[in-house]
A = this chain, B = another copy of it.
């Protein structure tokens, strides 16, 4: 087994070439630290997370400082109280969603709350402790639309990465009934045909992705899983990549 590493292997694909070309990295030397997180593409997000983060230690109430903990490779919020030394690990959250259909119509909810109040989408929200992603998708559907489905009957249809802050697992499921009752987060709930989806009034880009993909897959017994990544480019623009 070979026990050396070539600097050339730092070139890690078209996503990251621009970051390397920006001069953020030395070439011809071995860099032990991961280039991924430290690329210009993602550093703004990391900085934002640090500057907008916690001020006090949740364990002892002391103030926090930003530093690289021993044995770590990135800055974290660390408790100033040396007897405590608590380290804050702030990680991306998981969002779960469900594209529910009944007789070729799809369940949509109009948002009664911000963000995007008044816009339409399928039931979705943050995954909670103690539930699986399928259960979470079913819970959100229950909370927003008063609709139950069997989580084990749902199928994974999409996996989205949003700028390193959030990942989404989206399921599809054929309902046994078209009964519903709008929850307090929804101002309206409807079953609409695929052609009647209000494409210009959807809450988030991911809602459009999910619905388009679900429409494309509606006659497929085994749907392909759509993977998409939305991120900030070096010039500050949003970009979407497949995969």
Question: Chain B contacts of A61 at CB under 8 A?
Answer: 55-56, 61, 63
Asked if A159 is at the interface of the complex by the 8 Å CB criterion, the answer is yes
Q: Interface size on A (CB < 8 Å)?
A: 87
Asked if A190 is at the interface of the complex by the 8 Å CB criterion, the answer is yes
Give the residue of B5, B34, B139 whose beta carbon is less than 8 angstroms from that of A36.
B139
By the criterion CB–CB under 8 Å, are A133 and B152 in contact?
Answer: no
Interface-side segment among A7-15, A193-201, A211-219: A7-15
By the criterion CB–CB under 8 Å, are B55 and A56 in contact?
Answer: no
By the criterion CB–CB under 8 Å, are A164 and B36 in contact?
Answer: no
Give the residue of B10, B127, B148, B181 whose beta carbon is less than 8 angstroms from that of A12.
B148
Number of copies: 2
Residue of B nearest to A4 (CB): B179
By the criterion CB–CB under 8 Å, are A14 and B152 in contact?
Answer: yes
Asked if A221 is at the interface of the complex by the 8 Å CB criterion, the answer is no
Task: List A143-171 residues whose CB lies under 8 Å from chain B.
Answer: 143, 146-153, 156, 159, 161, 163-165, 167, 169
Give the residue of B63, B91, B131 whose beta carbon is less than 8 angstroms from that of A42.
B131
By the criterion CB–CB under 8 Å, are B167 and A94 in contact?
Answer: yes
Enumerate chain A interface residues (CB-CB to B < 8 A): 1-6, 9-10, 12-16, 34, 36-37, 42-43, 45-46, 49, 53-61, 63, 71, 73-74, 88-94, 126-136, 138-139, 142-143, 146-153, 156, 159, 161, 163-165, 167, 169, 176-181, 184, 190-191, 225, 227, 229, 231, 241, 243
Offer 30 A-B interface pairs, CB within 8 angstroms, sorted by A: A1-B178, A3-B179, A4-B179, A5-B181, A6-B177, A9-B176, A12-B138, A12-B149, A13-B151, A13-B153, A15-B151, A36-B131, A36-B138, A36-B142, A36-B151, A37-B131, A42-B131, A45-B129, A53-B58, A58-B58, A61-B63, A90-B129, A91-B94, A92-B127, A92-B128, A127-B167, A130-B164, A132-B231, A134-B229, A156-B225
